[in-house]
Structure 1
């Protein structure tokens, strides 16, 4: 990602996700559906070189929007996505085995 940036030209890649499990309306999709749609997060990052990547998520116990502080690597396998595709535990390990157990934001949320 670029290091020196003109504040007027900051690029933000925003993602939102559709229904899953028993969540029929995913607020992350509702907040992002008016943006242009593209698939493949890694290719989007390579193509657009965003300064910020903002993955909109879902916390079922909240009735407000919040920036997620971290996201775990585990727990997403064996759940079908919006295209009804399922990643197995073995596929998850093959794809993300060397990745950290969770990803944390680099944003200073305490000051926000």
Structure 2
């Protein structure tokens, strides 16, 4: 899935609060963040473990800055760099992104 296709899928998810809150959305976000992390490191990661520690799969401060920029550009969420690294694993990072997306959805209604 290209970044443009991902962005389109995220917009569709964001339009439906029930879909946005689902576990499937969490897994979807975690998987795509993980794939992007691997692409930034120029490596393939078959069967990426969404529960693996971010540091174990190569997340350092520089990669975190790149992931932050990617999340902001393609998922529309702004996170602090420390939130990326401090999330612990891809699943928790995806939950953080998902919560921010829900806040943005709520704020856009008011």
TM-score for the superposition, normalised by structure 1: 0.31
The structure with the largest strand share of the pair is: 1
> Which protein shows a greater Rg?
1
Of structures 1 and 2, the one scoring higher in RCO (CA 8 A, sep 6+) is: 2
